[in-house]
Amino acid sequence: MTAIEKTGPLDRMERSVRAALGIVLILLAWGFGWTSVEAIGALLLGLAALATAAAGFSPADRMLSRFEGLNRRDGNRQMKPGD
Amino acid sequence: MSQAPLLSSSSLRDPRLGMVWLAARLWVGWKFLEAGWEKVTGSEWLSSTEGVHGFLSGAGSAEATAGEHASVSHWYAWLVNNVFLHVQGLLAYLVPLGEIAIGIGLILGIFTLAAAFFGAMLNLLFMLSGSLSAGVNPLMFGLELLIMFAGAAAYVYGVDRILLPQIKRRWANRSSHSQPGAAPDAAPLPQGGS
C-alpha cells in the first residue's frame, strides 16, 4: 500500500474534473427535486467540488495526508523493500 | 493521466478522480442503506419470511420464465426453487444486514472494494430475479464495477486511506514475528543479493 500522493493543492486537471463534477451534481440535485436526501447530498457535494475547484486547494486532502504522514513515520516504509 | 487514453483502467485509477468516486460511493451506499433499513424496520422481512418468500416465489414462478422474452431465465428459476427458497429464513437476515453493511462500507469508505464487490453481486442477483427497480439496479451494478476498477482511487476520501496501510503494517509485523528467527520490527532489510 503506497501512500496516495495528495496533500492539498490541486492541479489544473483536478480543478477541471471538480468543476465539471460540481455542475453535474447540482443538475442532479435539481433533478432529484432539491429536498430529498439524494438532492441535498448532491447539492452539498457539488458546492464543495465547485468551491475546491475555484480555490485550487482541498482541505480534506491536507487532513488525510497528515494521517498518512503518521502512518509512514510509524513504520510503513518497511513495506517497501526496494526503498 | 495525460499519457493514458481517456477511459483506460489506469485513468480510472487516477487519485485526482477521487471526488467522482466519492459521489458514486455515496449514492450507491445510500441506496443500499435505505433498502436495508426499510427491510429491517418493516415487518415483512425479519419477523416473518413473507417478504423474501414473495420475492423469490415471483422469480421462480412459471409466469416469470414464460414467453420468448422471459424476465427470469430457466436456470435461475431452477436455482431459486431448489436452493434459495429452502434457505429463505437465512436470506431474510442476510439480505437486509448485507445491504446495511455494504451501504456503510461504501459511504464511509471502509473495505470499499469488498463492499463494491458484494454490492455488485447482490445487484446481479436482483437483476437475475427480474427486478430492475426502474433501472436503479443496472445503474448501481455499473457504478460498483467502476468503483472496483478504480482501486485505491475509490477511497481517496474514505477511511480505507488510513485503515488499509495500518492493517497491512500489522499483518507484515505479525508474519515477521511468526517466522522463527525473524528480525525485529525496526531491523533494516538485508542489502544485496543471495
Residues in chain B within 8 Å Cβ distance of A79:
165, 168-169, 172
Instruction: Flag whether B90 is in a domain.
Output: yes
User: Of B36, B20, B1, B9, which is closest to residue B143 (Cα–Cα)?
Assistant: B20
Total tally of structural domains belonging to chain B: 1
What are phi and psi for residue A8, nearest 5 degrees? 140, -60
Chain-chain contact of A21 with B19 (C-beta, under 8 angstroms): yes
Q: What is the pTM of this model?
A: 0.83
Residues in chain A within 8 Å Cβ distance of B169:
71, 74-76, 78-79
Q: What is the pLDDT of residues B104-115, one digit of tens each?
A: 999 999 999 999
Residues in chain B within 8 Å Cβ distance of A42:
23, 27
Instruction: Flag whether B191 is in a domain.
Output: no
On the CB side of B159, CA atoms within 13 Å amount to 12
Q: Exposed, middle or buried, B27 (CB in 10 Å: 0-12/13-18/19+)?
A: buried
Dihedral, CA of residue B150, residue B109, residue B25 and residue A63, to nearest 10? -90
What pLDDT, on the 0 to 100 scale, is given for residue B60? 78
Q: Judge whether residue A78 has pLDDT over 90.
A: no
Dihedral, CA of residue B73, residue B79, residue B82 and residue B86, to nearest 10? -120
Query: ipTM beyond 0.85?
Result: no
Boundaries of domain holding B90: 17-178
C-alpha cell of B45?
Answer: 422481512
User: Of B71, B45, B44, which is closest to residue B59 (Cα–Cα)?
Assistant: B71
Q: Is A60 on the interface with B (CB under 8 A)?
A: yes
C-alpha cell of B29?
Answer: 451506499
C-alpha cell of B68?
Answer: 420468448
User: Of B1, B27, B3, B48, which is closest to residue B146 (Cα–Cα)?
Assistant: B27
Secondary structure, 3-state, chain B: CCCCCCCCHHHHCCHHHHHHHHHHHHHHHHHHHHHHHHHHHCCCCCCCCHHHHHHHHHHHCHHHHCCCCCCCCHHHHHHHHHCHHHHHHHHHHHHHHHHHHHHHHHHHCCCHHHHHHHHHHHHHHHHHCCCCCCCHHHHHHHHHHHHHHHHHHHHCCCCHHHHHHHHHHHHHHHHHHHCCCCCCCCCCCCCCCC
What pLDDT, on the 0 to 100 scale, is given for residue B125? 92
How far is residue B119 from each of residues A4, A32, B45, measured CA to CA in Å? 25, 23, 19
Q: How many CB pairs under 8 A join A and B?
A: 76
Minimal Cβ distance to A4: which of B15, B20, B26? B15
Inter-helix orientation angle B18-41/B136-150, to 10°: 130
Q: What is the pLDDT of residues B26-49, one digit of tens each?
A: 999 999 999 999 988 876 777 777
What pLDDT, on the 0 to 100 scale, is given for residue B50? 78
DSSP-assigned beta bridge partners for residue A9:
A57
What pLDDT, on the 0 to 100 scale, is given for residue B107? 97
The strand ranges marked E within A1-83 are none
Question: pLDDT below 50 — which residues of chain B?
Answer: 1-2, 185-194
Mapped onto helix, strand or coil, the DSSP state of residue A9 is strand
Instruction: Flag whether B193 is in a domain.
Output: no
Q: Average pLDDT for residues A5-21, to the nearest whole number?
A: 91
User: Of B17, B27, B31, B29, which is closest to residue B150 (Cα–Cα)?
Assistant: B17
Instruction: Flag whether B70 is in a domain.
Output: yes
Q: Is A11 on the interface with B (CB under 8 A)?
A: yes
Instruction: Flag whether B187 is in a domain.
Output: no
